[in-house]
């Protein structure tokens, strides 16, 4: 298989931690270069790559097949559009876009130019979420009636990434962490009927939302999604309750921490959580009550790029399709509308 020649549009945390390490190690890809406007920081890690000084250089490079659009959210639509029109496939960081209309437009354009586009929802391959998904899909809890997914942090100070803290399209915690939680809820339970949202500013100096609680209403269950920047002692990140039992799990995937420490994804025991972080299953099977810890699945973000490679070379669907990205944007847009109007928003109203 000919390696997919790939370029990355940014070498901040996203490029350095979540994209470049997996692309560089996978023989199905060739990391050709990275867009750095003035620095050349990526050469310290990948000395044989090319530094592009403009997006146009990448778009004009006929050898590039795949472009990773991992720039601030408010640039995703414009850059991804240019990438597709240049005849290249695209992987777009979350949030996919800033509006439903932009997401739909990218999906339609990709079909028109016969190129692949995918949303980078790497948290599907977190060890904790993989474990929760297995418990639900194997029906250990019976019919689910209630679920709660948290992504809490204790970060009172503002982020040094100004694009996240300055009011505007794509800013705020709902656009930053919301796509992870919404995508996971859809993976587990499908699309809800309606959304109710409470979105707030809680940090003393913040100008953008740093707290949200979304209620996703289904015909047979309710799913709460919550994120806050002021939670020093967190709740379980996943609490799933069904007619047979409950499952609690902390958010303790180790991959991001390892990547920040410059460990490579082919390191021994990659993605293996500490045993003490195993989730608690309390349920019933064949009349026997079970209350025990559950071994955690192994996390691996590299699976995403393995599936991207397969999609491009075999002309099948990407691992996270644009249509799935549109679904996430519908829920986020409904949440902002709900918070503004202080009422429940039916998704068929959008």
What confidence category does residue 191 fall into, taking pLDDT thresholds of 50, 70 and 90? very high
* Token pair in block for residue 261: 């420490």
Count of Cβ atoms closer than 10 Å to residue 70 Cβ = 26
Percent residues over pLDDT 70 in the chain: 100
Q: How far is CA 267 from CA 29, 92, 270, 291, 305, in A?
A: 19, 26, 6, 33, 17
What confidence category does residue 99 fall into, taking pLDDT thresholds of 50, 70 and 90? very high
- How many whole angstroms separate alpha carbon 33 and alpha carbon 13? 16
Q: What pLDDT is stored for residue 198 in this prediction? A: 98
Count of Cβ atoms closer than 10 Å to residue 128 Cβ = 24
Average pLDDT over residues 238-261: 97
For domain 127-298+331-349, is the CATH number 3.90.1200.10? Answer: no
- Residue range 61-90, pLDDT digits in tens: 999 999 999 999 999 999 999 999 999 999
**Alpha-carbon dihedral 157, 127, 194, 206, rounded to 10 degrees:** 0
- Residue range 155-187, pLDDT digits in tens: 998 888 777 888 999 999 999 999 999 999 999
Q: What pLDDT is stored for residue 163 in this prediction? A: 77
Residue 1 has pLDDT above 80, yes or no: no
What confidence category does residue 234 fall into, taking pLDDT thresholds of 50, 70 and 90? confident
Average pLDDT over residues 319-343: 98
Count of Cβ atoms closer than 10 Å to residue 80 Cβ = 29
Residue 59 has pLDDT above 90, yes or no: yes
**With left for phi above 0 and alpha for psi between -120 and 50, is residue 133 left, alpha or beta?**
alpha
- Residue range 118-130, pLDDT digits in tens: 999 999 999 999 9
Residue with tokens 């705020």: 172
Average pLDDT over residues 228-257: 96
Mean of all residue pLDDT scores within the chain: 96
Superfamily of domain covering 4-122+303-319: NAD(P)-binding Rossmann-like Domain (3.40.50.720)
Average pLDDT over residues 96-104: 97
Q: What is the 3-state secondary structure (H, E, C) of the chain?
A: CCCEEEEECCCCHHHHHHHHHHHHHCCCEEEEEEECCCCCHHHHCCCCCEEECCHHHHHCCCCCCEEEECCCHHHHHHHHHHHHHCCCEEEEECCCCCCHHHHHHHHHHHHHHCCCEEEECHHHHCHHHHHHHHHHHCCCCCCEEEEEEECCCECCCCCCCHHHHCCCCCCCHHHHCHHHHHHHHHHHHCCCCEEEEEEECCCCCCCCCCEEEEEEECCCCEEEEEEECECCCCCCCEEEEECCCEEEECCCCCHHHHHHCCCCCCCCCCCCCCHHHCEEEEEEECCEEEEEEECCCCCCCHHHHHHHHHHHHHCCCCCCEHHHHHHHHHHHHHHHHHHHHCCCEEHHHC
- Residue range 140-155, pLDDT digits in tens: 999 999 999 999 999 9
What confidence category does residue 26 fall into, taking pLDDT thresholds of 50, 70 and 90? very high
Q: What pLDDT is stored for residue 85 in this prediction? A: 98
Would you call 24 exposed, middle or buried from its count of C-beta atoms within 10 A (0-12, 13-18, 19+)? middle
Residue 54 has pLDDT above 80, yes or no: yes
* Token pair in block for residue 9: 């549009």
Average pLDDT over residues 24-29: 97
- Residue range 10-20, pLDDT digits in tens: 999 999 999 99
Q: What pLDDT is stored for residue 164 in this prediction? A: 81
Percent residues over pLDDT 90 in the chain: 94
Our CA angle for 212, 149, 228, nearest 5°, is: 35
Residue 8 has pLDDT above 80, yes or no: yes
- Delimit the domains of the chain by residue range: 4-122+303-319, 127-298+331-349
Would you say the CATH fold of 127-298+331-349 matches that of 4-122+303-319? no
């Amino acid at each position: 298989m000919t390696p997919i020649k790939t370029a990355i549009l940014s070498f901040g945390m996203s490029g350095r931690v979540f994209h470049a390490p997996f692309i560089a190690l996978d023989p199905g890809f060739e990391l050709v270069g990275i867009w750095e406007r003035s620095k050349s920081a990526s050469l310290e890690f990948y000395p044989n790559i090319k530094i592009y000084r403009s997006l146009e250089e990448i778009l004009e490079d006929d050898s590039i097949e795949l472009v990773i659009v991992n720039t601030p959210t408010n640039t995703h639509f414009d850059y991804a559009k240019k990438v597709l029109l240049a005849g290249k496939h695209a992987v777009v960081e979350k949030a996919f876009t800033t509006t439903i209309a932009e997401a739909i437009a990218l999906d339609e354009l990709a079909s028109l130019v016969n190129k692949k586009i995918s949303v980078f929802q790497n948290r599907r391959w977190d060890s904790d979420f993989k474990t929760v998904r297995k418990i639900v899909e194997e029906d250990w809890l019976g019919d689910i009636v209630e679920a709660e997914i948290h992504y809490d942090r204790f970060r009172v100070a503002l982020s040094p990434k100004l694009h996240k803290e300055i009011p505007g399209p794509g800013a705020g915690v709902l656009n930053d962490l919301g796509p992870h939680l919404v995508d996971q809820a859809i993976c587990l339970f499908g699309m809800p009927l309606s959304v109710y949202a409470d979105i707030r500013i809680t940090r003393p100096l913040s100008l953008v939302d740093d707290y949200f609680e979304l209620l996703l209403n289904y015909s047979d269950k309710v799913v709460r999604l919550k994120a806050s920047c002021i939670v020093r002692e967190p709740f379980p990140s996943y609490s799933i309750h069904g007619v047979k039992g409950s499952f609690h799990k902390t958010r303790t995937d180790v991959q991001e921490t390892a990547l920040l420490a410059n460990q490579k994804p082919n390191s021994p025991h990659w993605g293996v959580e500490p045993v003490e972080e195993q989730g608690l299953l309390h349920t019933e099977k064949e009349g026997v009550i079970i209350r025990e810890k559950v071994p955690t699945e192994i996390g691996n973000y590299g699976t995403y790029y393995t599936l991207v490679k397969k999609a491009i070379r075999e002309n099948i669907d990407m691992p996270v399709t644009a249509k799935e990205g549109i679904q996430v944007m519908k829920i986020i847009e409904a949440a902002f509308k709900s918070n503004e109007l202080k009422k429940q928003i039916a998704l068929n109203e959008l």
